[in-house]
Structure 1
């Protein structure tokens, strides 16, 4: 059952858990803040929920605790960083600040990052730049992961390969956040943890048959997640997945060729300043004109009017500010277990 909590209490818990796990205070604070911001916009699969996955990584020294990223190339408008498997939220916060500063000077900036750890919810990151007036594109892949089969095949090879675009609107940013697979690995885990199946056949078993069963990823032969388009039009998602791996691994000069075995993230980040093109005011005018035309489109179901990506996140964030942050029971079970193991009190529900 879902429950609602004070955001400061959840932030304090997340930060304390990460600090007890060995992260220095500054890194723990950055990661915790972005995780709770993710819960505030309603993406509870990637919020404080992720602490239960990060703590074992810290315990095994698979998430680097100390130090900083390495700058491997800096050509002013293009950059290459090595994340040294540091916490992805911390790496991305620094990468965004760098690219926004460069975009303000040069009109745009692009960065490839190799060997970061998991970077979390992409729309929580693009939102940072979009709220400051920039267009922001982020794509990420994990060269060690094999969860999605290429279209026509039945052996998992790719990761879900998410990508996101955030850009300014009149009242709140437009936040497009999707991936090359028909669902995410976090959603697969959520269904496995809750003992439920998908409503649609979004998985492929080891023999290549479409299924609603998320546990096929743990079976032998290993099953996989279908690409966007599913069994009929999965060539579209497969092509998208190849594009993401090109941007995140080929441009970074590091990926599946090196065959890494630890959980990580390669990233492509681009920040664009509309002021360097037609101007920010004209940009927002064009964006809002199309947004309103879409929202005013006659809906198939009057009870479900057309939404623009980012509308639900803005509503969720506004609700969280006044009512608190709501978490589902599956997340609460895992985070309560983390708190108990760490000897920390769990916040009282509102």
Structure 2
């Protein structure tokens, strides 16, 4: 394990993406989203995705020079074509435009079609919260991973849901969750570390629970949030299907062609009350939750976003920890691109 300064990591990833042929503006956006994601402790969706993106680019599944454009636009909604490029630049554009519309009309909604992986959904939801608005961000994914209730074959992706809301005294409340029990990136992290996974995360081809990360990575069958029907897994599956409708059915993203769709929304609290009233109310709610009786006296009751803020404070100070397996995978991509490797 080695810790890398965030800005060094961001700069080096920009260099790599530009060398692949991606425009510098898109490269800077994608790299920033990835590194900010790692700073928040979401290692499954940060620079650890670079080997996956590199393979997609080599196989022609990723357009490195996309023409990102608005296809349709109305007063409070729009649809963006990502032209099969990395999803980060298109999703940042989508939420930025949704924020602008929410300031004018009270709500802004943006869909993105013909996209690829966009990293962590929470980043885009928090964009809205940082602007003083409530944010939601969803995405579907093309690779079938989630096994539907009563099914044996994977059908849906991890289809995450993110929600963020601004407070005044407290950090924003930020929820970012897969609709599977875990994101597939957690399986990858365990495989790289040579560690087992908890029972209930994944199943094999026969539908039996597995704890070997290598077997789970090969079978690519994740349980929906909640697990089986007896433990309410049908609820996670239902949420995943909702995300699929909003991100693919509504945007027109063609999953069979490898296309991903995204859905973001910004809501202006001023549409519902006086300036500052929402933030003050959320502060009271957060304080109330933190003040509830604890299982452990050294650990306050969790509010969504707490672990990520703690990780950010530590990692901005000490650097982002990268495992040796990931460092070697990154080194291989830099060598393949004929770039010096300054990260390890």
TM-score by length of 1: 0.91
Matching residue of 1:198: 197
**Does residue 305 in structure 1 map to residue 295 in structure 2?**
no
**Does residue 339 in structure 1 map to residue 338 in structure 2?**
no
Deviates more, 1:322-331 or 1:235-244: 322-331
Partner Cα separation in structure 2 for residue 192 and residue 5 of structure 1: 21
Judge conservation of contact 1:148–1:181 (CA < 8 Å) in 2.
yes
Give the 3-state SS of the residue equivalent to 1:79 in structure 2.
strand
**Does residue 271 in structure 1 map to residue 266 in structure 2?**
yes
RMSD: 1.9
Matching residue of 1:84: 83
Judge conservation of contact 1:190–1:330 (CA < 8 Å) in 2.
no
What's the offset of the Cα at 1:52? 1.7
Partner Cα separation in structure 1 for residue 343 and residue 280 of structure 2: 44
How many residue pairs end up in the alignment?
Answer: 341
Deviations 1:309-343 (A, max 9, x none): 11222222233333333333343232233233334
Q: Would you identify which runs of 4 or more consecutive aligned residues in structure 1 move more than 6 Å?
A: none
Judge conservation of contact 1:18–1:55 (CA < 8 Å) in 2.
no
Matching residue of 1:240: 239
Matching residue of 1:225: 222
Deviations 1:215-251 (A, max 9, x none): 44565xx551000111232111111111111111121
Deviations 1:4-36 (A, max 9, x none): 222221111101111111111111111111111
Matching residue of 1:15: 14
Matching residue of 1:167: 165
Partner Cα separation in structure 1 for residue 163 and residue 206 of structure 2: 35
Judge conservation of contact 2:95–2:110 (CA < 8 Å) in 1.
no
Partner Cα separation in structure 2 for residue 122 and residue 250 of structure 1: 19
- 1:83-232 counterparts in 2 under 5 A? 83-142=82-141, 144-170=142-168, 171-216=170-215, 222=219, 224-231=221-228, 232=231
Partner Cα separation in structure 2 for residue 306 and residue 136 of structure 1: 23
Partner Cα separation in structure 1 for residue 202 and residue 109 of structure 2: 34
Partner Cα separation in structure 1 for residue 9 and residue 21 of structure 2: 19
What's the offset of the Cα at 1:305? 2.1
Partner Cα separation in structure 2 for residue 77 and residue 284 of structure 1: 23
Change (3 A) 1:348 1:14: closer
> Tell me, which stretches of 5 or more residues in structure 2 are unaligned?
none
Matching residue of 1:294: 289
Change (3 A) 1:65 1:223: closer
Partner Cα separation in structure 1 for residue 214 and residue 18 of structure 2: 33
> Tell me, which stretches of 5 or more residues in structure 1 are unaligned?
none
Partner Cα separation in structure 2 for residue 242 and residue 164 of structure 1: 15
Partner Cα separation in structure 1 for residue 238 and residue 132 of structure 2: 30
Partner Cα separation in structure 1 for residue 107 and residue 58 of structure 2: 39
Partner Cα separation in structure 1 for residue 267 and residue 323 of structure 2: 36
What's the offset of the Cα at 1:119? 0.6
Deviates more, 1:22-31 or 1:319-328: 319-328
Give the 3-state SS of the residue equivalent to 2:21 in structure 1.
coil
Partner Cα separation in structure 2 for residue 294 and residue 331 of structure 1: 37
Judge conservation of contact 1:216–1:224 (CA < 8 Å) in 2.
no
Partner Cα separation in structure 2 for residue 146 and residue 53 of structure 1: 16
TM-score by length of 2: 0.92
Change (3 A) 1:254 1:9: closer
**Does residue 323 in structure 1 map to residue 323 in structure 2?**
no
What's the offset of the Cα at 1:345? 3.3
